[in-house]
Amino acid sequence: MTLLRAAVAAEWTKLWTTRTVWWALAAALALMGAGAGQYAIYAGNGDLDRPASAATVAVLALSFAQLAFVALAMLAMTSEFSTGTIRATLTWVPSRGRLLLAKCAVVAAVTFVTGAITGLLGALVAASLMDERGDVLGAAVRIGAYLALLGVFAVGLGAALRGPVVTLVVLLLLVVVVPPLLQVPDVAVLNAIADAMPGVAGNHFLLGDADPYAPVVGLLIVAAWAAAAFAAGRQVLTSRDA
């Protein structure tokens, strides 16, 4: 446990001394603010297909802001390989499983807290443009929880794929691109596959949708993707040379 705490402390320091993290968080705040304002205007014009509150608008605006969080999380792992610092890191933390666990713990903590803050910002922006606020604090906590699991998913996938470009492409395909393509045709099998993907499952959880499954099931699906990515990343990390 002492060794794990030391690895977590090292990863924490490493993360916050990287300028990319600050740029990613700034981008997340900007995207959330702009997206929340846009969706709040849509809600005021009656252009949304669901009853809207400031909390709901913050969740909808997360579709923009989550891209910055995904980039932050996957770079925490892939930058080690692209810069070659993974060799020094493994010298300091020889246990590759412990290293990956430490990275995931740090990324999950950072994305949870900053994600919740970003969600609150989005809700405040929306509340300034609309009357209905909704469960703002609950939405912020749900956003933080979803982004924490998405961060672990990105770190694990980064450990498995290693390259920043291929990791980002796969993440965008799984979270953003493929699910809407599967939902367009009214085909039950394709829709079911889309519902089992992390982005759609996370959206069900965040919006509290009960169809086709309970919101907590959506969170469990995202957690399953995160666990699978962690297992795959650990396997590749321990079986291949740095």
Please write the tens of the pLDDT for every residue from 173-214.
999 999 999 998 888 999 999 999 999 999 999 999 888 999
Q: Could you give the CA distance from residue 60 to residue 75 in angstroms, rounded to a whole number?
A: 25
* Cα–Cα dist 222/181, whole Å: 19
Q: Are 238 and 112 in contact, with CB atoms under 8 Å apart?
A: no
pTM above 0.75, yes or no: yes
User: 140, 43 in Cβ contact below 8 A?
Assistant: no
When the pLDDT of each residue in the chain is averaged and rounded to a whole number, the result is: 93
Give the integer Cα–Cα distance in Å for 146 and 108.
10
Residue 154 scores a pLDDT above 70: yes
Is 96 in contact with 238 (CB distance < 8 Å)? Answer: yes
Is residue 2 scored above 90 in pLDDT?
Answer: no
Average pLDDT over residues 142-160: 97
| Neighbouring residues of 134: CB distance < 8 A, sequence distance ≥ 6 | 53, 54, 55, 56, 123
The answer to whether the Cα torsion of 211, 213, 215, 220 is positive or negative is negative
**Is the distance from CB of 108 to CB of 148 less than 8 angstroms?**
yes
Q: What percent of the chain has pLDDT over 70?
A: 100
Q: How far apart are CA 25 and CA 41, in angstroms?
A: 24
What confidence score (pLDDT) does residue 225 get? 98
Distance of CA 207 to the CA centre of its chain: 16
DSSP state of 174: I
Q: What confidence category does residue 242 fall into, taking pLDDT thresholds of 50, 70 and 90?
A: low
Query: In terms of C-beta density within 10 A (0-12 exposed, 13-18 middle, 19 or more buried), how is residue 92 classed?
Result: exposed
Lowest-confidence range among 45-49, 97-101, 198-202, 219-223? 45-49
In this prediction, residues 162-174 reach a mean pLDDT of 94
Q: Of 103 and 44, which is predicted with more confidence?
A: 103
- Give the tens place of pLDDT for each residue, 107-134: 999 999 999 999 999 999 999 999 888 8
Where do the domains of the chain lie?
Answer: 2-239
Give residue 241's pLDDT band: very low, low, confident or very high (50, 70, 90): confident
Q: How would you classify residue 173: left for phi > 0, otherwise alpha for psi between -120 and 50, otherwise beta?
A: alpha
Q: Measure Cα distances from 227 to 101, 163, 241 in Å.
A: 11, 20, 23
